[in-house]
Chain A
Amino acid sequence: MKKKTVQSILYQSFCLLIGLMTIAPILYAVSLSFMEQREILTKGIHLLPDKIQWKNYKEALRLTHLVRYMLNSLILAGGSSVIRVAVAGLAAFSFAFFDFKGKNVLFMLCMSTMMIPGDVVLITNYKTVADLGLTDTYFGMMSMFLVSVMNIFMFRQYYLTFSMEIYEASKVDGCGNFIFFIKILFPLSKPVTATVFISSFVSTWNTYLWPMIVTNKDTMRTVQVGVTMLNSRDGGTIYGPIMAASVMVLVPTVIIFILFQKQIAGGMMAGSVKG
């Protein structure tokens, strides 16, 4: 018995060590963000800062509109996630609760968008958004992330398990379909809604290419674009502030991920099951 406990402790320590190695780049970035320039430039291996100081953070905030970038990213990620939930939920409601002509064809049509990678149609979409005068606007930035077929699929899978009796009973009580969706189905489907919202929030917050292409004004940049701009500003010599900015950008998603791992993981698995 005792040998087993020792073995288990050793095994867990080993796993934790591997875990630390896996996230070492993140830990190192945090450590660098607290170092003085001379500590970063030192010849030897210097893993931890001599003392915690916030100079790099102040400098990062002074050099960029990081607070504004945060706000932009929040609007982009929050706004498009809300729209995603609404549009996907509604479409899934139709696919799960109604029987109508062409339903399977329409569903396959939606699913076929998975075969068209967003980056392949990037330029044409940029042209569309530019022609509509939507560059440097929040709507232009969100336009690429408003609907995901994966979300429709996830909602549909969840709705298909919903009790038909409740639906029929509410009909008998004279409740219209839309009212049923808003008042009954949607509130009773919080887990799937949370999964869709959180996973699309994290992925939109982390997205780089599209927001970079549709924004030119500095005040409209997202955090992901802003943090790379800091790089080119002084020829990449201001490592401390760059790492401080990076840490400020990664902390929100890392915290969301740690808090809501179950929802995010559950959502991914649900999405991968072929229906």
Chain B
Amino acid sequence: MKKSRKIEPYLYILPALLYFTVFSFYPFLKTIGLTFFTVNANGQVKAFAGFDNYIHVLTDTAFLRSVWNTLVYVVLASPLAIFIALILAVLANKKTRTSAVYETMFSLTMAMSMSVTAMIFKIMYNPNIGLINKLLHVKINWLNDPEIAMVSVSLISVWLNIGFNFLFLLAAIRGVPGELLESANIDGANLYQKVRSVILPLISPTVFFLICSSLAKNIIMAGLPIILTEGGPKGSTSTMIYYMYKQAFGNMSYNDAYAAAVITFLFTLIAMLVSFSFEKKGVHYS
């Protein structure tokens, strides 16, 4: 490849770069910039505000509640979805005559959309006619009890993410050299020991990738509260991006919305950095 001074290679990248500039870099910088100004209900800049918008949002109990809810959601949903997928991947590891069938079943939630899934779980969660209460012989108000509504929402997301996690973990487990498992067998290791000391260390890069991607995805979740609960009852299912959405499109309070957006971004950034520091300690690349 010779260094070409021609304009040609730039032309091919131009559409993508233009797009990123208009819909990614520009809105990102503009959102950050606007957090330091007061903005009226039409979105016009009125005056310089310093950190007032941040202070306002960070002293708003509704936002603090949303931060807490988001953390509860992330801490519940991300690991549980990976853990269940890991069990399924261990199950599906051995190839059998019907493995194509159950592999498809284990990964099928990947094809499901959040809105349709929300509609299905809404019926299953129904306190009177819902299948879940009937099967468990309980009378729990899954989505209308402030104490457990966020847990109920998290469980929907766990189900939705099983398929994605499963596909990655299955590929990783199938990549574990057979001899290693054989020698573990000879040493008389049981399944738990094999997973714990042979499989898990070898697939940790994949687990690490899944933790990062599900943290990033879950911190910005807003669809389920919008569809199912409108953040309620009593603000118990309002997430950070839901708060942003409601302030912007419900209350026309762009000051709060922009500040909430930037704070949410900082959370995703922190989550990434924490994941990376964890990577140094726990992940083995062979």
Contact: A224 with B116, CB < 8 Å? yes
**Chain B residues within an 8 Å CB radius of A15:** 91-92, 96, 98-99, 102
Q: A45-B134, A250-B113 are in contact. Are A90 and B108 (CB under 8 A)?
A: no
- Whether, in the assembled complex, A75 has its beta carbon less than 8 Å from a beta carbon of chain B, the answer is no
Q: A22-B162, A123-B254 are in contact. Are A106 and B13 (CB under 8 A)?
A: yes
Contact: B15 with A117, CB < 8 Å? no
Q: A18-B91, A269-B171 are in contact. Are A94 and B102 (CB under 8 A)?
A: no
- Whether, in the assembled complex, A1 has its beta carbon less than 8 Å from a beta carbon of chain B, the answer is no
Contact: A87 with B220, CB < 8 Å? no
Measured in the bound complex, the distance between the Cα atoms of B101 and A118 in whole Å is: 35
**Chain B residues within an 8 Å CB radius of A243:** 119-120, 123
**Nearest chain A CB to B221's CB is how many angstroms away?**
8
Measured in the bound complex, the distance between the Cα atoms of B30 and A126 in whole Å is: 13
Contact: B107 with A261, CB < 8 Å? yes
**Chain A residues within an 8 Å CB radius of B134:** 44-45
Contact: B119 with A228, CB < 8 Å? yes
**Nearest chain B CB to A102's CB is how many angstroms away?**
9
Q: A19-B105, A90-B15, A205-B113 are in contact. Are A25 and B220 (CB under 8 A)?
A: no
Contact: A119 with B220, CB < 8 Å? yes
Binary CB contact string for chain B from 238 to 274 against chain A (1 if under 8 A, 0 otherwise):
0001001100110000100110011011001100100
> B interface, how many residues as a size bin?
35 or more
**Chain B residues within an 8 Å CB radius of A249:** 113, 116
Nearest neighbor of A19 in chain B, beta-carbon distance? B105
**Nearest chain A CB to B44's CB is how many angstroms away?**
11
Measured in the bound complex, the distance between the Cα atoms of B27 and A115 in whole Å is: 13
**Chain A residues within an 8 Å CB radius of B19:** 87, 146-147
- Whether, in the assembled complex, B28 has its beta carbon less than 8 Å from a beta carbon of chain A, the answer is yes
- Whether, in the assembled complex, B17 has its beta carbon less than 8 Å from a beta carbon of chain A, the answer is yes
Segment at the A interface, from B3-11, B57-65, B66-74, B181-189: B3-11
Measured in the bound complex, the distance between the Cα atoms of B88 and A231 in whole Å is: 33
Nearest neighbor of B269 in chain A, beta-carbon distance? A115
Contact: B17 with A110, CB < 8 Å? yes
Contact: A209 with B116, CB < 8 Å? no
**Nearest chain A CB to B247's CB is how many angstroms away?**
9
Segment at the A interface, from B144-152, B196-204, B222-230: B222-230
**Chain B residues within an 8 Å CB radius of A93:** 12
Contact: A20 with B113, CB < 8 Å? no
Nearest neighbor of A123 in chain B, beta-carbon distance? B248
- Whether, in the assembled complex, B275 has its beta carbon less than 8 Å from a beta carbon of chain A, the answer is no
Known: A97-B1, A119-B241. 8 other contacts (CB 8 A): A15-B96, A29-B123, A109-B20, A124-B34, A207-B113, A208-B227, A242-B123, A246-B119
